[in-house]
C-alpha cells in the first residue's frame, strides 16, 4: 500500500506534464475501444447466426434469382426441417440517408424459423392476414418513432413504385446480440404486382432460408441441395447462415483491416508519448535514485519505482478512457451515424484489450528509463544533480 501511495505522489509531482499525458492516454484508449467496437459491430450479424440454419442462393451471384418452385424441392431433401424465402427489397424511406435492411419474406413460416425474434402472437397473426403488413425490429421502430398501425411509405428501387406497408408487429430480440433493425413485409405483396406489370420477374426468389433437423449434418445437407439443382438453369450455392453473412463482410474486408490497424497505431503513438514522459521524469530524478542506492536500496527497487510510476500513469489514463468508452459508444449508437450498425455495444473482450494495451504501454515506456536508473553509478547520479 505504501508503494502505491508513493508512486501516486510521484506521478503528480509534475502536474501539467502528467495531466497532458493522461489526457493523451484517455483519448488513445477511448479511440481504441470505439474502433474495436466498430469492428465487432461489423461482425455482429455473423456472430448472431444460428448453427441450425442455412441459406441457398444462386451459385453465380445474389443478383441472379431462383424460381420459387425450388422451395418444394429443397423441402424434400432429407434433413431439411423447414424452408422459407426472402428477397432483398432496397427501397427508400423518405430520403436515401434513411437506410435500413428491407426484406420481402414468406409470411407462412419465416418467423417460426427465427425464434430469437420475440413478438406478440396476435401481432404476428395480424401480419400474416394483411397482404400489406410489415414486421419491424424494435431498434428500427424506435429510430423513426414507428408504432403498430403506422403506414410506412417506401419508394422502390429494385422494384419500382410507391409501396405502402402497415406496421402490424414490432419484435424484440431474445438478448442484446439479436439484431432488431430489419424491416420485413410479405413477398406475395410485390409478387402479385410483378405478375401484373413485369411477369418475367414474377415468382423469382433471392434466397431460400433453410432450417435443418441436425446441425451436425449441415455440410451433407448443403451438398445434397446443391446436387439437386446441378446442371439446372439456376444452379445453387448452399452455405451456413454465418458463412453467408461473412461473405458480405469479406466485400469490405479492407475497411475492417484498416480500422484494426489504425486502432493499434493509436496505441503505438501514445506509447511513444508515455515513454518520452517517463524518460524526462527519470532523467530529472537521477540524483534521487543515486541517493537511494547510496542508502542501500537495491537496483531492483529503483527499477521498480520507475515501473510503478509508469504503470500508475498508464492505468489512470486507461481507467478513465475505459469508463468513457461506454457512454460515448451509447451516444454514437443513438446518433444518425450509429444507426447504420444493427448492434453497437462495447464487449468484454474490448475492455480486456484496452487494459492489456495500457499494461503494455506502461511496461514498454518504463523499460529504458528503468534500466538506466537501476544501473546508474552513485557518483554519476549525484554529479548529474550538480
| pLDDT tens readout for residues 231-252 | 888 999 999 888 887 776 666 6
Whether 280 and 189 share a structural domain: no
In a domain, 275, yes or no: yes
Whether 175 and 92 share a structural domain: yes
In a domain, 381, yes or no: yes
In a domain, 242, yes or no: no
In a domain, 25, yes or no: yes
Distance CA 289, CA 283 (A): 10
Q: What is the pLDDT of residue 252?
A: 64
Whether 214 and 81 share a structural domain: yes
Strand (E) positions, 187-269? 204-205, 207-212, 236-240
Whether 313 and 365 share a structural domain: yes
What average pLDDT does the structure give for the chain?
85
Whether 270 and 196 share a structural domain: no
* Mean pLDDT, range 93-115, rounded to an integer: 90
Query: CB burial class (10 A; 0-12, 13-18, 19+) of residue 89?
Result: buried
Distance CA 208, CA 65 (A): 10
Whether 356 and 228 share a structural domain: no
Strand (E) positions, 109-203? 117-118, 133-137, 151-156, 161-173, 183-186
In a domain, 54, yes or no: no
Beta-strand pair 183-186/102-105: parallel
Give the 3-state secondary structure percentages of the chain, helix then strand then coil, rounded to 5: 60, 15, 25
**The last residue of a domain, from among 173, 207, 234:** 234
In a domain, 49, yes or no: no
pLDDT in tens, 339-377: 666 677 888 889 999 999 988 988 888 888 878 877 777
> What one-character DSSP code corresponds to residue 129?
H
Distance CA 292, CA 296 (A): 7
Comparing 63-72, 180-189, 374-383, which segment has the lowest mean pLDDT? 374-383
Instruction: Give residue 280's pLDDT band: very low, low, confident or very high (50, 70, 90).
Output: confident
Residue 271 dihedral angles phi and psi, to the nearest 5°? -60, -40
Whether 228 and 261 share a structural domain: no
Distance CA 264, CA 35 (A): 10
In a domain, 140, yes or no: yes
- Residue 154 corresponds to which cell in the numbers above? 417506401
Q: What is the pLDDT of residue 259?
A: 83
Whether 35 and 64 share a structural domain: no
Whether 93 and 196 share a structural domain: yes
Beta-strand pair 204-205/66-67: antiparallel
Whether 301 and 230 share a structural domain: no
- Residue 245 · residue 91 · CB < 8 Å: no
- Residue 178 corresponds to which cell in the numbers above? 439479436
Number of structural domains found in the chain? 2
Q: Which secondary-structure segment (H or E) carries 261?
A: helix 253-284
Whether 98 and 163 share a structural domain: yes
| Residues 6 or more apart in contact with residue 55 via CB below 8 angstroms | 207, 208, 209, 210, 238, 239, 240, 241, 244
Comparing 41-50, 303-312, 314-323, which segment has the lowest mean pLDDT? 41-50
**The last residue of a domain, from among 234, 269, 287:** 234
Whether 82 and 9 share a structural domain: no
Neighbours of 239 (CB within 10 A): 18
pLDDT in tens, 109-121: 899 999 989 999 9
Please tell me the number of Cα atoms within 13 Å of 267 on its side-chain side: 26
In a domain, 283, yes or no: yes
Q: Percent of the chain scored above 90 by pLDDT?
A: 37
Q: What is the pLDDT of residue 226?
A: 93
**Angle between the 15-42 and 299-334 helix axes, to the nearest 10 degrees?**
50
- Range of 171's domain? 60-234
Q: What is the pLDDT of residue 386?
A: 44
**The last residue of a domain, from among 175, 203, 234:** 234
Please tell me the number of Cα atoms within 13 Å of 95 on its side-chain side: 1
Residue 18 dihedral angles phi and psi, to the nearest 5°? -65, -40
The residue ranking higher by pLDDT, 240 or 7, is 240
- Residue 219 corresponds to which cell in the numbers above? 455440410
Amino acid at each position: 500500500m505504501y508503494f502505491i501511495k508513493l508512486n501516486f505522489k510521484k506521478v503528480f509531482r509534475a502536474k501539467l506534464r502528467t495531466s497532458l499525458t493522461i489526457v493523451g492516454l484517455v483519448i488513445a484508449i477511448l479511440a481504441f475501444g470505439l474502433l474495436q467496437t466498430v469492428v465487432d459491430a461489423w461482425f455482429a450479424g455473423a456472430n448472431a447466426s444460428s448453427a441450425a440454419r442455412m441459406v441457398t442462393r444462386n451459385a453465380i451471384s445474389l443478383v441472379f434469382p431462383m424460381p420459387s418452385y425450388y422451395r418444394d424441392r429443397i423441402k424434400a431433401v432429407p434433413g431439411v426441417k423447414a424452408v422459407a424465402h426472402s428477397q432483398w427489397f432496397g427501397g427508400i424511406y423518405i430520403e436515401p440517408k434513411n437506410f435500413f435492411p428491407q426484406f420481402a419474406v414468406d409470411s407462412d413460416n419465416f418467423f417460426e424459423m427465427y425464434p430469437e425474434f420475440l413478438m406478440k402472437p396476435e401481432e404476428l397473426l395480424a401480419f400474416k392476414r394483411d397482404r400489406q403488413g410489415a414486421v419491424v425490429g424494435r431498434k428500427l421502430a424506435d429510430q423513426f418513432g414507428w408504432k403498430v398501425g403506422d403506414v410506412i411509405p417506401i419508394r422502390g428501387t429494385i422494384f419500382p413504385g410507391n409501396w405502402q406497408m402497415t406496421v402490424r408487429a414490432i419484435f424484440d430480440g431474445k438478448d442484446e446480440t439479436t439484431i432488431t433493425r430489419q424491416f420485413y413485409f410479405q413477398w406475395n405483396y410485390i409478387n402479385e404486382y410483378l405478375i401484373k406489370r413485369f411477369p418475367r420477374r414474377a415468382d423469382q426468389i433471392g434466397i431460400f432460408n433453410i432450417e435443418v433437423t441436425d446441425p451436425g449434418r449441415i455440410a451433407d445437407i448443403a451438398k445434397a441441395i446443391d446436387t439437386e439443382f446441378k446442371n439446372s438453369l439456376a444452379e445453387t450455392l448452399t452455405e451456413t447462415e454465418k458463412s453467408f453473412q461473412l461473405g458480405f463482410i469479406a466485400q469490405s474486408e479492407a475497411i475492417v483491416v484498416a480500422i484494426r490497424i489504425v486502432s493499434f497505431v493509436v496505441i503505438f503513438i501514445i506509447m511513444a508519448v508515455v515513454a518520452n514522459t517517463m524518460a524526462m521524469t527519470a532523467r530529472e530524478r537521477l540524483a534521487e535514485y543515486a541517493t537511494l542506492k547510496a542508502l542501500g536500496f537495491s537496483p531492483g527497487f529503483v527499477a521498480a519505482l520507475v515501473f510503478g510510476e509508469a504503470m500508475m500513469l498508464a492505468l489512470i489514463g486507461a481507467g478513465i478512457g475505459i469508463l468513457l468508452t461506454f457512454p460515448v459508444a451509447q451516444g454514437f449508437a443513438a446518433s444518425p451515424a450509429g444507426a447504420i450498425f444493427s448492434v453497437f455495444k462495447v464487449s468484454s473482450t474490448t475492455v480486456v484489450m484496452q487494459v492489456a494495451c495500457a499494461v503494455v504501454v506502461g511496461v514498454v515506456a518504463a523499460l529504458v528509463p528503468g534500466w538506466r536508473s537501476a544501473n546508474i553509478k552513485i557518483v554519476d547520479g549525484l554529479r548529474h544533480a550538480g
